[in-house]
Amino acid sequence: MAATATFKGAKNSRWRRFVLKPFVFVQFFFGIGLLAIALKQFRRKNTHPAQSPELIAKDWEILYYRIIPFRAISRAWGWLTNCHLPVWARQPLLGLYARTFNCNLEEAMDGNLDNYSCLAEFFRRKLKNGVRPIDPASAVVAPSDGTVLNFGRVTAGMMEQVKGVSYSLGEFLGPAYWRNGPEVQPASQTELEYEKSLLVNKDNDLFHCVIYLAPGDYHCFHSPVDWTVNFRRHFPGALLSVNPSIAKWVAGLFSLNERAVYVGRWKHGFFSMTPVGATNVGSIRVYADEKLRTNCTKWALPLPYYDRYMGPTESDSDEIPLHKGEIFGEFNLGSTIVLIFEAPKDFEFKIRPGEKIRMGQSLHVTGSNVNQEVAAH
């Protein structure tokens, strides 16, 4: 008995020395590091005006931030939100969530909270017919409810994430070989050359729009135009928060995060729509692409990105034709939609950064050539 107790004591001692102590040290230094970052940011904000370059996170800060196990946290949150709720708990728990995030239950197809078996089911609630009318006079409508983070013309291969913080078009979309099959992007290609390579009509320009979905927003996303999807690129990436405050701090945030880039054609040429993952987004689901699997472990998806061709010549898949306003997919919780598309040079947005928008409303001024063609049809 004494020998057994001694063996167990030695075993526990080894376990504490090789496992527990390092874990405690990691936690300690990790906490100290995060505190240092927070204090440094606080000092910067007191020293520099809003949108100052000094407020943008340094590379080491981003590296430290990415150490946080957001993917494991998000999977745990996904499991929790899918747990079955007893009927007696649904009204108080789901009602608290609805009040906290200003969810409009009058718009829901089913406004009775007792009928939602879990929180995730409530996240994905569908809306009544007619509460999100699709603007018939607009060629490009909002793909979802949300807040406009930024929009505008792509300039020299760069896009504004928020005012004063930009990210690379090439890093966000990856190599542009979806039209002609596998090719290696030239190493010497500049950002501007990459931008021009996307244009079908060289007289057009590229435009972009970023929409943030808050936790209380309607979580389904719809097609913003009439177009055909023929390619998908899935970046497993990270699951950093895409809250506007983080978007102002981490440059290139959307290029770091998990995302599914859908590429195709609309009447003016190149069109892409990208749902971007975020912390606590258990999954991105695209109804016409059941092969998409998001928020997996790095062991399951070790490569930087995964491509899927959807052209008519592919044996296992077909192109996805989508009509303006047609439902495309859904998030669990909230996240971001990024639109990148070519249009005539006189295309003009009629939205403002920070504006709350609703799915189906027009995103642009209706006097351009884009809408004149819609009227002609």
The reply to whether 6 falls in a domain is: no
Residues 6+ apart with CB under 8 A from 89: none
The reply to whether 128 falls in a domain is: no
List the domain range (segments joined by +) for residue 161. 141-179+189-362
Helices within the chain (DSSP H only): 2-15, 21-47, 59-67, 70-81, 87-100, 119-123, 169-173, 191-198, 244-247, 253-256, 369-376
| Max Cα-Cα span within the chain | 93
The token pair at 224 is 């913003």
The token pair at 130 is 């007619």
The token pair at 122 is 């409530």
The reply to whether 154 falls in a domain is: yes
> What is the chain's pLDDT, residue by residue, as a tens digit (377 residues)?
544 444 445 445 544 444 444 444 444 444 444 444 444 444 444 544 445 454 576 666 767 667 777 777 778 877 888 889 999 999 999 999 999 988 999 999 999 999 999 988 898 889 999 999 999 999 999 999 999 999 999 999 999 887 777 889 999 999 888 765 555 556 677 888 899 999 999 999 999 999 999 888 998 999 999 999 999 999 998 888 777 777 777 777 888 889 999 999 999 999 999 999 887 665 888 998 988 888 887 788 888 899 988 866 555 567 889 999 999 999 887 789 999 999 999 999 999 999 999 999 999 987 656 665 554 44
Report the C-alpha gap between 119 and 80 in whole angstroms.
Answer: 8
The reply to whether 45 falls in a domain is: no
How big is the CA angle at 162 (ends 188 and 97), to the nearest 5 degrees? 130
The reply to whether 275 falls in a domain is: yes
> Number of folded domains in the chain?
1
Residues 6+ apart with CB under 8 A from 365: 348, 349, 350
**Annotated catalytic sites, by residue?**
145, 222, 335
Residue type, 345: K
The reply to whether 127 falls in a domain is: no
The token pair at 72 is 């494991």
Report the C-alpha gap between 178 and 251 in whole angstroms.
Answer: 26
Dihedral angle at the C-alpha atoms of 349, 352, 358, 359, nearest 10 degrees?
30
The reply to whether 202 falls in a domain is: yes
The reply to whether 116 falls in a domain is: no
